[in-house]
Structure 1
Amino acid sequence: MMSSFSIVNHKIDPTRGATALKADGTIDNNDRVEIGPTDVAFAEWEQLGLTAPNVERMRKTRLNRIVQQLRQRDYAGVLCFDPLNIRYATDSSNMHIWTMHNPSRAVFVSADGYVVLWDFHRCSHLSTYLPLINEIRDGGAGFYYFVAGDAEEPIAKQFAGQIDELMRRCAGKNRRLAVDKIEIPGLRAMEAVGIEVCNGMQLMEHARAIKGVDEINAMRCSLATCEIAVGKMRERLRPGIAETELWSVLHAENIARGGEWIETRILTSGPRTNPWMQEAGPRRTIPGDLVAFDTDMVGPYGMCADFSRTWYCGDGRPTDEQRRLHAIAYEHVMTNMAMLKAGVSFNELTERGHKLPAEFVDQRYGVMMHGIGLCDEYPAILYPQDFIPGAFDYVLEPGMTLCVEAYIGAVGGREGVKLEEQVLITDSGFENLTKCPFDPALMI
């Protein structure tokens, strides 16, 4: 039994037929383009010898990962409002940034792989080409105050009724439902109909942690696009350029290749590199500055390319102090990368990691390493000073992807250095996926 406002999705897109396909298996139709890479990106990847992901197979792999996690935990299904979890489950995209703070979309995945998407009102046409979505329902998942006003509770009650019906149909007596994020009226409405709400974010983070071959290929492609864009930034770097002007190059080159957005705006110069986490502003660089940045770039296929570099600005020679800071950051990253292999526990990485010199401990980066996929993901590998017993009691597995980080800047120091590499855990160790060169002027 389908909802009266459902669109039953076709398992095979009738528009595909014998139509020409792109390198990633998506339809090559200029008038109906799925969100994804441009011709420029495909040409660059081919020149670099990269293999595009098979998008259809990537979607199936991701859905299977979710189903596997549901069955392991004996959950009837998972309900996701987080746009990145929706993207992972369905590959459906609609106003990602806007829906991060206006939760208008949701997806339900049952333990047997039945998928229902609630999209923003009158947006069902955006996802009808996705064969793994069994139903698309128009609206109904938005019960936050901006759109629901003082009718939040009745709208949430109506939505909870739909979830209740789906769970009874798909899972019978199993009332355990994983939910990643939900507005308070929605949570209360779910509990009122007897649904046991469980930790959906934990489930989705663990599903997303292991990347299949197509996700890894998508990540390689996104990283290549990011590195090309960073190369354009390097060409533009000169004394007098504003931080925001330089940062805009990364955005423009990413979008031109079918990338999607930038998670942060962390690019700073000169004294604004210490302390870290300041955002790009109007400051104009001067000769002899360090310029440091963290890409945090969500590129083609929604895959995050997250590495950091610090450059010297100008034609002179870096100071001994600038080169010292860079050398310590480089040693920290490379030493910690060398520990990576399947079977190593997260706790061991914290305990055995490279020890920062005392002068840099107070302004250490937030993590030694973190997972990466559609965004920064599980796990967080913490410094000993920030360790949380029992929080990440797991081990590295083949197919995990991590970012290894360092920020080196003393309290009261004039400058700091930020470096970061993105890596893949393999059966025998790790592969550094990052090809962007370090600034030779700063390498000792």
Structure 2
Amino acid sequence: MLERAEEPGLQDHQRGQDVFKDPRKQTYLNPEGAHLPLRSPIAAATLDRARAYRMSRIREKLAEHDCAALLLYDPVNIRYAFDSSNQGVWTAHNATRYALVVAGGPGIIFEFAGCEHLDVGLPAVDEVRRAKDWLYLFSGEHVETRAGEWADEIVDLVASAGKNRRLAVDKIEPMGVFALQQRGIDIVEGQELTERARAIKSADEIELMRWTIRVCEAGMARMYEVSEPGRMEREIWAELHFENARSGGEWLETKLLAAGPRTNPWFHECSDYVVQCGDMVSFDTDMIGPYGYCADLSRSWTCGHVRMTAKQHELYQTALEQIHHNLALLKPGLTFREFNERSWRIPDKHINFRYPVAVHGVGMADEWPMVLLHPDFERNHGGQFEENMVIDVESLIAEEGSESIKLETQVLITATGAERLDKFPWEDD
């Protein structure tokens, strides 16, 4: 455990001062000044190659599934295929913006009114059209008519492929399914197509992801800095938002930070609870950062950075044992069932407080595969780890009456094993 600094906390400084009072802050924030944002080192050519690779993956899967076109409504899938982003959180629950990849044909973005200029210059975008929205929010009693007009346009584009009437769709409202089926379209499950496409990363994607993780770790350094007595949970969490937003990041998928008694049971989101000295502060970043990539990291430390109690230390070491054991298993060709058979076994006293997932994929968000912890594995899907997958290794350890320790690391499956992409230290470092 790092010794507590003599200087007062950030709350006693002006934000613009550059006082590196902790090795984590000095390592992970901008060395030119803590008040300055990190500067992206990503070259334009890297981004261009990543864009081309991602669209090629989509088109490969489109051919494998023998589909005439792929209709996308999920903003993460649209970002993956086209690198086009527009109000991702809002459009995730308002189906007003969509895209279509036609087999052997164009990639088309359908933007809502006034946003067409956002897609100019994107290499995968062959055409921009005005979206035909038909949600009740906008259409009221005209939903059925407008859904029909929308479906007519989609059917014409599917027919232009000259292939068949199989349309893969990642997500769609029921009225849209009905309208397309009425017009003779055979709807194919598109999530398998998109998840499998996204699962294998290119070297350029890994470079983009490393940068998002770098930004996330800078946010974590700020969180570490302000984890002092008297702070509310949500004040600590806000430091991650701050660093992500000013570095060009997108959003945080959750608000999973809790302290002290609120860590157990897990899944309390941050609140106005005032953190006390010695409380365990545990969190899961779930951060969609620069270039749309996800940094999904978890750490736990004590408020005030005081020495852990004996129980906190015992729980922490148990969680770290799970991380190290499961991480050492990962390699290409290992099936999910083989991983489960060799995976770390959670002690009985922790089973009722377990996290259900042992490892999962990550890219532009949490992705396929999802490998459950051994007590739950019989519900798991099949498959195997492959080179150039990015996998998160998870641990949540608690027992009756204790706090929870949450740890998680993000790794690249290499030809010979697994490489950790995050470097932010564990507490025993």
What's the TM-score once normalised by structure 2's chain length? 0.89
The within-5 A match list for 1:5-404 is: 40-42=37-39, 46=41, 54-112=46-104, 114-140=106-132, 142-170=133-161, 172-314=162-304, 316-388=306-378, 392-404=381-393
Distance 1:330 1:214 in 2: 30
Question: Matches of 1:314 and 1:210 in 2, distance apart?
Answer: 41
Contact persistence 1:67–1:113 (CA under 8 A):
no
Task: State the AA in 1 paired with 2:69.
Answer: G
Conserved in 2, the CA contact under 8 Å of 1:52 and 1:218?
no
Question: Aligned-pair distance for 1:414?
Answer: 2.8
Structure 1 residues 65-99: Cα deviation after superposition (integer angstroms, max 9, x where no partner): 00100111111111011111111111111100001
Q: Which residue of 2 aligns with 1:428?
A: 416
Residues 338 and 175 from structure 1, CA distance in 2 versus in 1: closer, same or farther, beyond 3 angstroms? same
Closer, same or farther: CA 162–92 of 1 in aligned 2, 3 Å: same
1:189 and 1:161 map into 2 onto residues whose CA distance is 9
Instruction: Kindly state the Cα deviation for residue 341 of structure 1 after the two structures are TM-superposed.
Output: 0.3
Structure 2 letter corresponding to 1:359: K
Which secondary structure state, in structure 2, belongs to the residue aligned with residue 283 of structure 1? coil
Secondary structure at the aligned position of 2:301 is classed as strand
What displacement does 1:314 show? Answer: 2.4
CA contact (8 A) 1:90 1:132 kept: yes
Q: For residues 213-238 of structure 1, what are the alpha-carbon distances to aligned partners after superposition, in whole Å with 9 as ceiling and x for unaligned?
A: 11100000000010011111111111
Could you tell me how far apart the structure 1 residues matched to 2:79 and 2:282 are? 31
Q: Counterpart of 1:314 in 2: which secondary structure?
A: helix
Is contact 2:70–2:100 with CA below 8 Å preserved after alignment? yes
Contact 1:77 1:111 in 2 (8 A): yes
Change in 2 beyond 3 A, CA 1:173/1:433:
closer
1:174-232 CA-partner distances (Å, limit 9, x unpaired): 11110011111100011011110000011100000001111100000000010011111
Name segments (4+ residues, structure 1) moved above 6 Å: 50-53
Question: Could you say what secondary structure the match of 2:129 adopts?
Answer: strand
SS of aligned partner of 1:197: strand
Which one is further off, 114-123 or 182-191? 114-123
Contact 1:291–1:312 (8 Å) recurs in 2: yes
Aligned residues: 394
Could you tell me how far apart the structure 2 residues matched to 1:379 and 1:211 are? 14
Paired position in structure 1 for 2:13: none
Distance 1:55 1:291 in 2: 36
Does structure 1 retain, via aligned residues, the 8 Å contact 2:135–2:143?
A: yes
Aligned with 1:395: secondary structure? coil
Percent identity of the aligned residues?
43
Retained in 2: the 8 A contact 1:41–1:258?
Answer: no
Structure 1: which amino acid aligns with 2:144?
E
Amino acid at match of 1:379: P
Conserved 8 A contact 1:164-1:193: yes
Deviations 1:381-418 (A, max 9, x none): 012322245x52111111100110000011x3231100
* Residue of structure 2 in register with 1:437 after alignment: 425
What SS class does the counterpart of residue 304 from structure 2 fall into? Answer: coil
Code of the residue aligned with 1:212 in structure 2: it is: S
Distance 1:376 1:113, change over 3 A: farther
CA distance in structure 2 between the partners assigned to 1:347 and 1:223 by the alignment:
29
Distance 1:98 1:315 in 2: 38
Q: Would the alpha carbon gap of residues 315 and 186 (structure 1) be closer, same or farther in structure 2, given more than 3 Å must change?
A: closer
Query: Cα offset for 1:271?
Result: 0.5
Instruction: Decide whether the 8 Å contact of 2:57 with 2:197 is kept in 1.
Output: yes
Range moving further from structure 2, 127-136 or 302-311? 127-136
Aligned to 1:385, what secondary structure does the other structure show?
helix
Deviations 1:408-444, CA, capped at 9 Å, x for gaps:
011x32311000000000111111001011123xx7x
CA distance in 2, matches of 1:436, 1:315: 15
Shift of 1:351: 2.3
Q: How many Å separate the matches in 2 of 1:153 and 1:427?
A: 52
Shift of 1:173: 4.5
* Aligned match of 1:25: none
Note the C-alpha offset of 1:312: 1.2
The alpha carbon displacement at 1:51 in A equals: 7.2
- Report the RMSD for the aligned CA atoms in angstroms: 1.6
Which AA in structure 1 matches 2:394? E
TM-score by length of 1: 0.86
Query: What is the match of residue 20 of structure 2?
Result: none
SS at match of 1:54: helix
Secondary structure of the residue that 2:357 maps to in structure 1? coil
Kept in 1, the 8 Å contact 2:265–2:353? The answer is yes
Any conservation in 2 of the 1:364–1:408 contact (CA below 8 Å)? yes
- Residue pair 2:345, 2:374 contacting (<8 A) in 1 also: no
Instruction: Determine the C-alpha separation between the residues in 1 that align with 2:136 and 2:333.
Output: 46
The residue identity in structure 1 corresponding to 2:425 is P
- Note the residue ranges of structure 2 that are not aligned, 5 or more in a row: 1-35
Counterpart amino acid of 1:351?
A: E
Alpha-carbon deviation of 1:113?
Answer: 5.2
